[in-house]
Every structure is written in C-alpha cells, then in structure tokens.
Amino acid sequence: MIAAYGQRFMKQVIMRRVLVALVPILLLSVYLFGLRVLPLLAVVTAIGVVTEYLVLRSIQGPAAKVSEAVFVTCLLFTLTLPPSTPYWVAGVGIAFGVLFGKGVFGGFGRNIFNPALVGRCLIYIAFPRFMTTSWTIPFSGFPGGFLRYAGGADTMTSATPMILLRDSGEATPLLNLFLGTISGSLGETSALLILIAAAYLLATKTASWRIMLACAATFAALSAVFHYAAGRGPDPLTAVLSGGFLFATVFMATDPVSAPSRDLSKILYGVLIGASAVVIRLFALFTEGIMFAILVANAFAPLLDRQVKALADRRKPAAKAEAGP
C-alpha cells in the first residue's frame, strides 16, 4: 500500500508540514460547527484529487503523479468556507480552483494564482447567498460539535464580527476574536491557533516571515490611519483579528509557488497584499478583502521578482566600480 501511494503521489515534505499546522484549526472547526465539517472536507478532497489527476493524465499520460500539495489546497479551501456551504457548491469551487488555478498552467510549481483562492473566488461571486448570508452560531461547552452533525435551522441567524460591525457598529470582544468563539468561515475564527500555526511554520522554515510581517504590518498601519485619522473602519487590532486576514496571511499569502522568491520581492508582495486588503475592505462592496488582495498580488509576483533581479543586476557593476581595481 505504501509503495502504491508513492507511485501515485508526488511526496512533498513542506506540504505535510502545512497539513500538520492546519490540523488543530480543523479540529476546532469541528468543535465549533459540528461533524459536518468532515464529510465536507472529504467531498472537497475527493473532487480536488480526481480533478488534478485527470488534468495531469491528459498532459503527462498514465504515469502522471498527483502532488501532495492538492491535499493542502483542498483543506485550505474547505477551511475558507462558511459551515453550511452546500456540498455541490464546495465541489464546483474546488474543481474550478484545481483546474483553472493550477491545471491549466501545467500542474504543481507552474501556477501563478493560489488554487484554493481561485476556487473560493468563483463561488463567492457565483453563489453569494451561500457565501455571505448563511452563518452558523458556534457550539459551546463540552463536547461542542464533536457529537453533533451541524447546527439546526434555528442557528442560522448569526453574523460574523465584520458583518456585525458594518451593519450595527457593534464590536465583538477582542477575547472572543482571539480564542475563536465566534461565527465565521471554518478556519478563520481562532487567532490563537492561527498564530501558533504561524510559529510552527516559521520555526520549520516552511513559510516566509518577510511576507507575513510585511503583510500584517502594512495592514495594521493602514487600518490605524483610516481609523484614527479618517474615522473609518475598526481599530487596527480588531481589524487584524477579524475575518480571514490572519488565516490567509499565514497559509495563503506565503504559498511558495504563487509568491515571489526573492527577499525584497517578498516584502513588497506583503505590502501590496496588506494595503490592498484594507482598501477593498473599506471601499468595496465586499466585507472581506484579503482573498482578492492575494489574487491581485499573485498576478504581480513574477513582475516583482523580475524587477528586483534587474535592480540587483544594475547595482553589481556600480559596486565593482566603487570598489576599484
């Protein structure tokens, strides 16, 4: 069985580390929203793996190997969904993301855009009712959702902290935002677990601290400017802890394939994401801007690398001339 697994899948240690970092967040999502999370993940994973295999088989033939990265894509995609997302909507999203976010570029390592975000972007725009209005009140107490399939129809009345703040001006307590006892997408609720995952990814050199720091610092600084100088938007700490910003910054902005590879490029990339996310949140119709911000930055990543390389190449002759013979 192990040998068969190795023949069908491209082994990737870095992707396994990302999966390990996501496990506690997945478990919390089950506790908060019920066992329905697991079959939803199973459906997404099955469709995602089959889609990638069929695409690669059409390109590489029967010897095609599915990358382990597709499991990361499927888990990330699932964790960006509202708890009550219909199975068929999730299936359409992951199939589109794997096919058009990665497959059409030739498979793993060649894609420009983060495939999980490509899939979520499609269903966010195509099926907004399922993605923006059906929010579930989380379970509380022991055993939470571990012994329940999902919340009943009477629990589909909650609003996420961002929607609540936008519609009524009511701010969610920071402790709730930090611990994750709030409504929201499956993986975005607990800032605590996301920060622990970030520490693990950084300690194992799996993710770029430059991207995370540049993204978070720019987002917080620009949020502070708008909040304190213009009276627009939440305070920077509430802004950082609300919505999917932290989750996307830690797990999606740092995707090594769709992000730039040079150190300066990574900083500029993070700045672009942080600034774009604030502007979209405050001035667009969408309550959440990080998804679109990362996709926009993905498009600029190759250009950033080329320009930074060109700048470095221009500096080399000048440095040699200054050093003299």
What pLDDT, in 10s, does the model give residues 78-132?
999 999 999 999 999 999 999 999 988 887 778 899 999 999 999 999 998 888 7
| Average of per-residue pLDDT across 8-33 | 88
| Average of per-residue pLDDT across 141-155 | 75
pLDDT for the residue 8: 55
- Residues 96 and 51: beta-carbon distance below 8 Å: no
pLDDT for the residue 11: 65
| Of 8 and 200, more confident | 200
For residue 150, pLDDT over 60 is answered with yes
- Residues 106 and 52: beta-carbon distance below 8 Å: no
| Of 52 and 134, more confident | 52
- Residues 12 and 66: beta-carbon distance below 8 Å: no
172: phi then psi, degrees, rounded to nearest 5: -80, 135
For residue 318, pLDDT over 60 is answered with no
Question: Across all residues in the chain, what is the average pLDDT?
Answer: 87
Question: Hey, is 67 helix, strand or coil?
Answer: strand
pLDDT for the residue 223: 95
- Global confidence as pTM: 0.90
What pLDDT band is residue 168 in, cutting at 50, 70 and 90?
A: low
What residues have CB less than 8 Å from 134, skipping those under 6 apart? 82, 84, 85, 156
For the CA atoms of the chain, what is the radius of gyration? 20
In this predicted model, what pLDDT tens digit does every residue of 184-225 receive, in sequence order? 899 999 999 999 999 999 999 999 999 999 999 999 999 999
- Residues 236 and 218: beta-carbon distance below 8 Å: no
DSSP state of 141: S
**What angle is formed at CA 206 by the lines to CA 205 and CA 209, rounded to 5 degrees?**
65
Q: Report d(CA 224, CA 169) in Å as an integer.
A: 17
CA distances 62 to 11, 56, 151, Å, are: 18, 9, 43
| Average of per-residue pLDDT across 284-305 | 91
DSSP state of 228: I
pLDDT for the residue 160: 77
Question: Hey, is 106 helix, strand or coil?
Answer: coil
**What angle is formed at CA 226 by the lines to CA 223 and CA 231, rounded to 5 degrees?**
125
| Of 194 and 323, more confident | 194
pLDDT for the residue 195: 97
| Region of poorest pLDDT, from 13-27, 272-286, 308-322 | 308-322
| Region of poorest pLDDT, from 20-29, 125-134, 235-244, 245-254 | 125-134
Q: Report d(CA 147, CA 257) in Å as an integer.
A: 38
| Region of poorest pLDDT, from 1-5, 66-70, 87-91, 157-161 | 1-5
| Of 176 and 22, more confident | 22
The one-letter amino acid code at 164 reads: L
